[in-house]
Amino acid sequence: METETKGPQWWFKIKRYMRRSLYVFLFLCFLLFVRVFLFQIYSVQGNSMYPTLEHGSVVFVWKAGFAISAKFFGTELLYTEPNINKLDLVLFVSQEDELVVKRVIGLPGEFYSIEAGRVLIDAKELLENYLPKGTYTSEPSTSVFLNRHHSPFLAMDKQGRIPPGYFLLLGDNRQYSTDSRSFGLVPVEKIKGKVIFYF
């Protein structure tokens, strides 16, 4: 009688353990899916986005629709067309393979011009209320960029039209920001997500 009860109890324990392990595995797969395809939390490094973001600011990034890294193939995979609007804050991969937050200033097809410390888009001065009063936007200097061969980034001049699939990104702290003025226009596949909340 004793051996008859031990057998089923042992089997029930195994089934309960396997069921719990399956739940844990599915939960971990869900978290991985969210992290890769939907959502990311990122801590800002440096003050290139000051005063909007400071060093150590935490941003919540929405990744749905943006390119994912396909390290195995050594490239970026863009699985759909991302929704990127002017003045959005976006997270992208720099030429140094670092994650960086900058602001979208120019969209594909737009004509940009940087003159007398101002940014003009399609011949109209861009209204940038988030910048401190008196902010001066210096002209592009892509000397660092031009030393990099086979870079997906596209060198920019003082003015020009943004090609399809590229974006003009600038930091809010214009005097101390390394942005499109130095590394060029950013290809859409390097943009990993849009900042939806920060503190």
| 102 a catalytic residue | yes
What does the buried/exposed string (b/e) look like for 36-64 if buried means 16 or more CB atoms within 10 Å of the residue's CB? eeebbebebebbbbbebbeeebebebbbe
Residue pair 178/48 in contact by the 8 Å Cβ criterion: yes
Work out whether the CA dihedral 94, 98, 104, 108 comes out positive or negative: positive
Q: Which of 13, 21, 57, 102 is catalytic?
A: 102
Report the distance separating Cα 93 and Cα 113, nearest Å. Answer: 24
Q: DSSP character for 79?
A: -
Strands (E) in the chain, as ranges, are: 39-43, 58-62, 68-70, 75-77, 89-93, 99-106, 111-115, 118-121, 124-125, 159-161, 166-170, 186-187, 191-198
**How many other CB atoms are found less than 10 A from the CB of residue 109?**
11
Q: Which of 6, 15, 21, 48 is catalytic?
A: 48
Catalytic site positions: 48, 102
